[in-house]
Structure 1
């Protein structure tokens, strides 16, 4: 088991933002996402609706002790966090293409506060996040479970069965596990705080050592 002071094998040892020399260098725009979404946008009955008009997606990355995180934000808030060891930028862009994005580019300012707070989390000075979230990649039961997950406090854990009960679906532990694996905003929606009933951490995108690191990190900075 890794202690909170150890970096996961193969991860960056010092957290920091990749290429954050200026706002244009640190945030790259998903023009491809916007282009792929044009057909979906034009097929809407009211393409000029304020819900979608002028909406773009901004993406960026931040280096952490558990590796590079990819972040995506819209005008509504942070919509996606991806682990670099699990998915590429292209993977994330393909998923985000399902959002009703316009041809406009995302604003880099949408990522400034999320990136800042992620850095603070990893240096141990932040115990909860205060950023707007765009939940459009989460639906139905999965969203219900992820909402319940947001009440699990920093430095603590619950079992899959306990979270199922918290979400109003006792006995749905397996479905809760699926909801965790499809969580679009890990870390901020803290699926790493959900463990097996025997106390073992379980899977975490094929990297249980990452989950262990996050749990230990929070316990070390809880007080």
Structure 2
């Protein structure tokens, strides 16, 4: 069952987010690399670039991301798009960690790698949690930016340190 993948570029306060998915669900969100911190928020989000023939999961994703950046409290009431990335289809500790993070760590909260390992059912797997965060195909929606070091330092992030700091302070 080969997916018919569609792509959309969403302009956000942190740069262009490249989103891909099919009728079955979201495949990936690619983050921009930030070299400077953005200033302010746009009040009315621009429409996605090249959005013709958007699948339902892509529409839900862009609506959720618009809300996240402009009216964060609304994200709790919006439907999450279905996910259709292979990593999220197979049973694995990585999948368990990502679902646990999505379900249990709410907007404005942070959790350490060790705490997330505990929540996912393996208290000695903090390093594996780090690996799961690195392989997260759907950042921001699956909020790997909320996972920090036990020391309180923010730790690494696929979109870079500046983007992680921006997302944490946004929340």
> Under a length normalisation based on structure 2, what TM-score does the superposition of the two structures give?
0.78
Aligned: 1:204 with 2:154: no
Cα deviation per residue 1:185-218 (whole Å; 9 max; x = unaligned)?
1111110110000111011126112111111111
Q: Write out per-residue CA displacement over residues 77-129 of structure 1, whole angstroms, 9 at most, x where no aligned residue.
A: 1121111339xxxxxxxxxxxxxxxxxxx952332221122111101343335
Counterpart of 2:71?
124
Q: Secondary structure at the match of 2:75?
A: coil
DSSP 3-state at the match of 1:189: coil
Q: For 1:206 and 1:124, how far apart are their aligned partners in 2?
A: 22
Q: Is the 8 A contact 1:62 1:115 kept in 2?
A: yes
User: Which structure 1 residue ranges, 5 or more long, are not aligned?
Assistant: 1-51, 87-105, 219-223
Matched residues in 1 for 2:75 and 2:119: separation?
21
Aligned length: 147
1:67: which partner in 2?
15
Which of 49, 56, 60 pairs up with 2:4? 56
Q: Distance in 1 between matches of 2:31 and 2:170?
A: 17
| 1:11-30 matched pairs, under 5 angstroms | none
TM-score of the pair, normalised by structure 1: 0.61
Of 20, 31, 54, the residue aligned with 1:108 is 54
* Contact 1:61-1:71 at 8 Å conserved across structures: yes
Deviation at 1:73, TM superposition (A): 1.2
Query: Residue 137 of structure 1 is aligned with which of 60, 81, 87?
Result: 87
98, 102, 115: which is aligned to 1:146? 98
Q: Are the equivalent residues in 1 in contact too, given 2:9–2:19 (CA < 8 A)?
A: yes
1:183 aligns with 2:129: no
Q: Distance in 2 between matches of 1:84 and 1:153?
A: 23
Once residues 121 and 73 of structure 1 are traced to their aligned partners in structure 2, the CA distance between those partners, rounded to angstroms, is: 19
Larger Rg: 1
State the Cα distance separating 1:134 from its structure 2 match: 1.7
User: After the TM superposition, which residues 41-52 of structure 1 pair with which residues of structure 2 at under 5 Å, given as runs?
Assistant: 52=1
